Amino acid sequence: MRRQVAGNLVWMLAERGVQVAGGIGIVAMLARGLGPEGFAHFQYAQAVVYIAASVALICGGEVIIPRLVANTDPIAQHRLLLHAFGLRIGAGVLAYLLIGALLLVTDQGPDIWAPTLIMGVAVILREPFGVVTAWMQARTWTRPNAVFNLTSLAVKAACVALLFWLGSHSVPVYAAAFSIEPVIAAVLLTLYYLVRAPRTHVKVDPTLARELLRSGTLFWVSFMLMMGSRRVDQLLLKPLVPLTEFGAYAASMQILDNFVVLATILSAGIAPMYVYAQPTIAQARRNIMKIAGGMLAIGIAGGLAIAACAHWIVQLLYGPAFAEAAHLLQLAALASTLVFTDVALTLLPIYMRRPQLVAIKWGLVFVVTIAIDVIAIPNLGARGAILGYAIANLLAVLFGIAVWLQEAQRTPEAHEASA
């Protein structure tokens, strides 16, 4: 069993590593192919889709997987997956409609409408068909999913590379290349599951649907607030700064997105053994603080390295047209170091099974980010957005520390351990 779990983890981490490396190469070709203004349009469209995608995160893996593990009957699992799929597909359609409503309310032009609606197809495909991924995770067998994801990523990368080689400068055409990835992944996941699914008719059970919806509400709200916090700065920034400045900011944040994902990868590798497997909350707390310290050190080292090499990184990936992004990358890289600590501290409320704390944290971060951006961006431009990013990260860490300290006061065992 341990060998199976370890092998499963290796595949997950390898997949994420390849995706990060592939993502960097794809973004580099995209920026060079579209130029600063075209890249700005593409990134704005992607930010809108990213936020809308959170609506489709209803009934997530944290709701489905424990139920699949608890009941291994194939028919019961099939019934559960179909109901979760129904909830997700409904939420995905709603998310797509919200994309159109946002574009209409903000009076966007055709240069934003076309790529956004094309890439928005992902919100109808990725999460609904992701129920098969949850089914694989419950069986501790994610290798096929990793292969499917890497296959779809390879096709997307090949399409982007072909467009770049042909000298295409069309934002909608590149958006279509990006949309190929979720389509291929959805098809592969569907075929894999249908071959193994029981041949039985499933009737709609409103009670089960309501139970799944109710169980995942807090996680759903948390994900929407988290994803909104990470992209709302771009929605607020674009109308207030020149497109070239917005493109430079988006380019710098793209690099950091690929950097901070390392925190999630480390957390996924460390948490099962050193946090979730601990018998007492006192031991889990001690380990979490050690993990937070180590991840902070990694974040600082990585942030300083990116800041020191910012001009070289921007020149290598994006070319001289994005020179303005180098200074923004330096500032944002230093602000990103706290993300590593936040990811580590978030392990405590997850261990305690208190998702409401995660929802409260991201609610505060979301509100504070908007408030700072509204004040700072008109005066500081892209630097104002970075200020909002930095303060939001600090607030998230302070909230995590407060939860950690509060739990120490509530847990007598923790006092005895520290005495």
273: which DSSP letter?
A: I
198: which DSSP letter?
A: -
Distance CA 331, CA 333 (A): 6
pLDDT at residue 262, rounded to an integer:
84
- 415: CB partners within 8 A, 6+ apart: 408
Q: Which amino acid is at 89?
A: I
Residue-wise pLDDT tens digits, 199-253: 888 888 899 989 998 888 888 888 899 999 999 999 999 999 999 999 999 999 9
Residue-wise pLDDT tens digits, 279-336: 888 888 999 999 999 999 999 999 999 999 999 999 999 999 999 999 999 999 999 9
239: which DSSP letter?
A: G
pLDDT at residue 399, rounded to an integer:
96
- 355: CB partners within 8 A, 6+ apart: 62, 218, 219, 222, 349
Does 415 score more than 70 pLDDT?
A: no
Distance CA 168, CA 145 (A): 32
Contact between residue 310 and residue 329 where contact means Cβ atoms under 8 Å apart: yes
Start-to-end Cα distance in the chain: 37
Residues in the chain: 419
pLDDT at residue 6, rounded to an integer:
57
3-state secondary structure 332-365: HHHHCHHHHHHHHHCHHHHHCCCHHHHHHHHHHH
* DSSP letter for each residue of 302-324: HHHHHHHTHHHHHHHHT-GGGTT
Instruction: Tell me the pLDDT band of 351, cut-offs 50, 70 and 90.
Output: confident
Residue identified by tokens 């199976």 is 4
Distance CA 355, CA 223 (A): 11
Residue identified by tokens 């990134």 is 43
CA quadruple 81, 208, 128, 40: dihedral positive or negative?
A: negative
- Pick from 136-145, 179-188, 393-402: least confident: 136-145
3-state secondary structure 44-64: HHHHHHHHHHHHHHCCCHHHH
Residue percentage of the chain with pLDDT more than 70: 94
Average pLDDT score over the chain: 89
CA quadruple 147, 152, 155, 160: dihedral positive or negative?
A: negative
- 341: CB partners within 8 A, 6+ apart: 292, 295, 296, 299, 397, 400
Average pLDDT of span 62-82? 88
Residue-wise pLDDT tens digits, 27-49: 999 999 999 999 999 999 999 99
Residue-wise pLDDT tens digits, 354-392: 888 999 999 999 999 999 999 999 999 999 999 999 999
Does 418 score more than 50 pLDDT?
A: no
CA 228 distance to own-chain centroid: 10
Token readout for 232 is 């709302």
Instruction: Tell me the pLDDT band of 82, cut-offs 50, 70 and 90.
Output: very high
Whose CA is closest to 44, among 91, 103, 93?
103
Distance CA 237, CA 373 (A): 8
